[in-house]
Structure 1
Amino acid sequence: MAFVLHPFHVIRKVPRGHAAFNLSRHAIRGVDQMIELDGNLLAAAGFMALGGFLRGFLGFGGSMAAVPGLSLIYGPLGAVSIVLLADIGAVIQLLRTAIRESDKQVVAPLALASVLTTPLGAWLLINLDPGDMRRAIAITVLGFVIVLILGWRYQRPPSLPVVIGVGTVGGVLSGSAGMGAPPAVLFLLSGPHGHKAVRANIIGYLAVANMTALVTIWLHGALTVDILWRALVLAPPYLIAIWIGGRLFHNASEIFFRYAALATTAVIGVYALLA
């Protein structure tokens, strides 16, 4: 038995099996699905906002913060694709800063080496155990974080072979384990640049690395219409949070920035170790 509201605001009892009863049942089910969808969307927007804040403040960390939570809703591939698509707006927002303040002699070979070696990482992902690789990478990253916390830094600009080597490692790790940022971030933090230049260098490097990853996903036919729509809906909280993070960065000291970047990288390492 169901109650149906008629146009003249008269509530009538409707027996089971009646067309109006079935219609009301489907309407209630639709409302339940909408509420569930809204709950997922709110959670996804929260994950995107957190990732956007880190991306705006540190220059990296967007994927690290957003992808684990989004994976529970949209699956790993959907989560990565949504963040990379939304990050197109981040690149547009942050690229002017990267061009103005970055060290092109470091960023250009670093990014180029990463682009060229990402396919090698993808091949390793197919042929080796990604879990073992990820854990080995995580241990290496955490070890380097400890070294930097103890105060070790380059005292002079690194040579070109060193820069290319770091970019190569970043590209391989990006293709094999989705962890291309930590090697470059730790390398840039260990150099003689100030925190504004470090952030700009990270932004420039990730602009190229993330676009390479997005093109790779597109070539594999994984960018569906659903993913494109979800990225479009979730981009605003991500981009607004990037703007907030960028504004707060300008009031942050160099020491705070470095320790925040190291702490974020350490969290990435721990997550990769335990995942």
Structure 2
Amino acid sequence: MPTRHRHHHAEVRILKKSLIQDGLVQLSLWLTLVATTLLAGLGRGFTGFGGALVMAPVFMTFMDPVTATTIILIVNTVVGLANLREVGAETEWTIAKPLSIAGCIASPIGLWLVTSVDVDLVRRVVALIVLAASFGLALRWKFPFSIRHRIGNAVLGAASGSLFGLGGVGGPPVIIGMLAEDLPARVARATLLTYFAIVQTCTLVLMTLEGGVAGDGVWYGVAMIVPYYLGSALGLRLLTPERAPLFRSASIVVLVAVAAYGLLPH
């Protein structure tokens, strides 16, 4: 009998130790996700884009790509729509409206192509184009298109929307088009945030209808909305008139980082 009790107590101690270890692992995971999401929101709020770049490599360390993509899409959609009231007044709607229409129309094309093309190859090609365009922006080259003109706007919006549907890499075409214009920093940022909110909402709705939204990703996504919103709100307030000259440089740095990440094996 005493031996049986000793075995029982030993099993209880092992179980408690295991539960504590599991709890610490879960706590560490949540703290990492929250800290990463806050940082991602901060960068997004300041430049108008780049949140996914910060989140994707970290999230995909702990979970599968579908779950990570679902989280990223949910937080960007919800926070983007929440920010619309604040950024709407500064948005250049003559650019954002036709751009959003083209992006939403083209998004299903990307979702359809995702099953028939090599997404990694597309990412790498886009990354190379973004890298070249980023250096062009840094050197202030004149681009052969304008996001203000009807054809340039439609082409950039369609390219962005299809790439969002294809693999969540839809930001660079419109970012490059926006930075090629001499728009005030806050107007450029607001226009980007408005466009992304609309097109990512379209993409999320389409993914949901096709059953492409993962269950775990939904719960994680809902949990990450608050830290992403707080980080984004802080980033929005950091872009003061005094810091406006930093906007272009910060945006180009983020674009180069996006391109570098896209060239890495996934």
TM-score with structure 2 setting the length: 0.90
Aligned-residue offset at 1:17: 7.2
Aligned residue in 2 for 1:72: 61
Matched, 1:241 2:231: yes
Which letter maps to 2:129?
T
Q: Deviations over 1:166-220 (max 9, x none)?
A: 1011112222232101110110111131111100110111001211222233123
Larger mean Cα displacement after TM superposition, 90-99 or 190-199: 90-99
Could you tell me which of 148, 162, 171 is aligned with 1:172? 162
Aligned residue in 2 for 1:264: 254
Aligned-residue offset at 1:157: 7.1
Aligned residue in 2 for 1:149: 138
Q: Within 1, Cα distance between the matches of 2:248 and 2:209? A: 36
Could you tell me which of 209, 219, 222 is aligned with 1:219? 209
Does structure 1 conserve the Cα–Cα contact (< 8 Å) formed by 2:147 and 2:177? no
Aligned residue in 1 for 2:197: 207
Aligned residue in 2 for 1:198: 188
| Structure 2: gaps (5+ residues) | none
Higher relative contact order (CA 8 A, sep 6+): 2
Q: Within 2, Cα distance between the matches of 1:115 and 1:234? A: 25
Q: Within 2, Cα distance between the matches of 1:14 and 1:271? A: 58
Does structure 2 conserve the Cα–Cα contact (< 8 Å) formed by 1:145 and 1:262? yes
- Alignment RMSD (CA, Å): 2.2
Aligned residue in 1 for 2:12: 23
Which letter maps to 2:162?
V
Q: Secondary structure at the match of 1:158?
A: coil
Q: Within 2, Cα distance between the matches of 1:63 and 1:156? A: 26
Which letter maps to 1:163?
N
Does structure 2 conserve the Cα–Cα contact (< 8 Å) formed by 1:153 and 1:192? no
Aligned residue in 2 for 1:38: 27
Aligned-residue offset at 1:225: 4.4
Aligned residue in 1 for 2:245: 255
Which letter maps to 2:16?
A
Aligned residue in 2 for 1:182: 172
Give the number of the structure whose alpha-carbon radius of gyration is greater: 1
Aligned residue in 2 for 1:111: 100
TM-score with structure 1 setting the length: 0.87
Q: Percent identity?
A: 25
Does structure 2 conserve the Cα–Cα contact (< 8 Å) formed by 1:114 and 1:167? yes
Q: Secondary structure at the match of 1:120?
A: helix
| Structure 1: gaps (5+ residues) | 1-12
Which letter maps to 1:126?
T
Aligned-residue offset at 1:165: 0.8
Which letter maps to 1:161?
I
Aligned residue in 1 for 2:38: 49
Does structure 2 conserve the Cα–Cα contact (< 8 Å) formed by 1:56 and 1:242? yes
Aligned-residue offset at 1:274: 2.0
